[in-house]
Structure 1
Amino acid sequence: MKRDTTASTTAREILRRARRQQGLTQAELAERAGVSQTVVARYEARQQQPTIAALERLVAACGYQLAWSVRHATDPGAADGAAGKASSERFPGPIGKRLTARLDEVLTLLASAGATDPRLYGGVADGTEAVGCRLLIGVTVPPEADLLPLIAASGHIGLLLGSSVHVLRHTDVAAYGYDDEGIPLVPGTAPAIGTPAR
């Protein structure tokens, strides 16, 4: 599992993402890792912060490995190279690379459907794409808006990227098992004013 380098990544998010990607319940993960289900629940509820060793053990029980790196800020090329790599590998999987290459077209299709604040969820967003991974895009639309334009946008984007795509309201993303804020499609954007809590 690749580590999301955004500042908002927490141990809870890493653990939940790893567990959900493998389709494990808290109890199943606890059994695999040799801890109690209560421990997993406390970590995911932010009632207790795991140590790095505990987090690594739990993520490993999901079949992933955490990757950590520290680079001295004065290393030659560290600032330029790291920034260049982060922007070019924002969504490093195959679907993510196609999305990055055609981002302007995707954003135009979403805007034409009346959607704002597009954010990615799931494997494409966190770099853990698996075969058959779907692209899940949460958006904000007015409450009274017809959902047919979102369905049409899903189809058009799917054809554009050669992938299964679901465009849906942010409030409906939880039904797919995600309750994080998602990764903005447009870097540096904040949730739109009036975006419902997710």
Structure 2
Amino acid sequence: MIKTARERTGLTQSALANRSGIRQSVISEYESGRREPSVAALDRLLGAAGLTLTLAEAPETLRQVRLLAADLRTILAEYGATNIEVFGSVARGDDHENSDIDLLVDFAPDVGMFDLLRMQSAAEALLGRPVDIVPRASLKSGVADDVRRDAVPL
């Protein structure tokens, strides 16, 4: 969420650090998922990017995914995935019982097709539903904006 907000406003991590009063190294840790910001820090960072933090109840499937987010991040990190976001029908709250869960992720450079398949299988076992894992770098420009608009960070 922080990285997306920063990139949408054209800010570097350093510029966001200057505006928010939060060190650039800490912002880097937040964006990579190595550290989790407090609500107050998140509000400061988003405010510095010209956005407002609004808390709302998540749709049911998204709420269930969020309950398992720490386990999901751990499992996917074993295969080289970071910066996990839910997008599509689950993120919008218009999913149904047969909907899959779409995950947008960043990959380490050495992640291959077999790692992606293992990642998908592990995520499906944890979440109990079909999962599509989409590498952020593979998004075509025509759909990238729509995906990013729906994306909800885990």
Instruction: Please give the TM-score of this superposition, normalised by the length of structure 2.
Output: 0.54
Q: Structure 2 CA distance, aligned partners of 1:184 and 1:174? A: 20
Q: Structure 2 CA distance, aligned partners of 1:126 and 1:174? A: 20
List per-residue Cα deviations over 1:56-100 (Å, max 9, x = no partner): xxxxxxxxxxxxxxxxxxxxxxxxxx84xx2xx33x13x323212
Q: Structure 1 CA distance, aligned partners of 2:139 and 2:85? A: 10
Which of 68, 87, 112 does residue 146 from structure 1 map onto?
112
- State whether structure 2 residue 152 is matched by structure 1 residue 183: yes
Distance change >3 Å, CA 139–CA 133, structure 1 → 2 = same
- State whether structure 2 residue 101 is matched by structure 1 residue 135: yes
Greater relative contact order (CA < 8 Å, ≥ 6 in sequence): 2
| Matched residue SS, 2:133 | strand
Q: Structure 2 CA distance, aligned partners of 1:131 and 1:174? A: 28
Which residue number in structure 1 is paired with residue 126 of structure 2?
Answer: 160
Q: Structure 1 CA distance, aligned partners of 2:95 and 2:140? A: 19
Q: Identity, % of aligned pairs?
A: 23
Give the letter for the 2:72 counterpart. Answer: V
| Matched residue SS, 1:128 | coil
Which of 46, 50, 67 does residue 101 from structure 1 map onto?
67
Give the letter for the 2:131 counterpart. Answer: V
Q: Structure 2 CA distance, aligned partners of 1:159 and 1:120? A: 17
The offset of 1:105, in angstroms, is 0.6
Give the letter for the 1:129 counterpart. Answer: D
Higher alpha-carbon Rg? 1
Higher share of residues assigned strand: 2
Which of 70, 79, 90 does residue 113 from structure 1 map onto?
79
Give the letter for the 2:152 counterpart. Answer: I
List runs of 5+ in structure 2 lacking aligned partners.
6-53
| CA RMSD across the alignment | 2.6
Which residue number in structure 1 is paired with residue 33 of structure 2?
Answer: none
| Matched residue SS, 1:125 | helix
Distance change >3 Å, CA 128–CA 160, structure 1 → 2 = same
Which residue number in structure 1 is paired with residue 91 of structure 2?
Answer: 125
- The question of whether the paired residues in 1 share the 8 Å contact of 2:103 and 2:132 is answered with yes
Instruction: Please give the TM-score of this superposition, normalised by the length of structure 1.
Output: 0.43
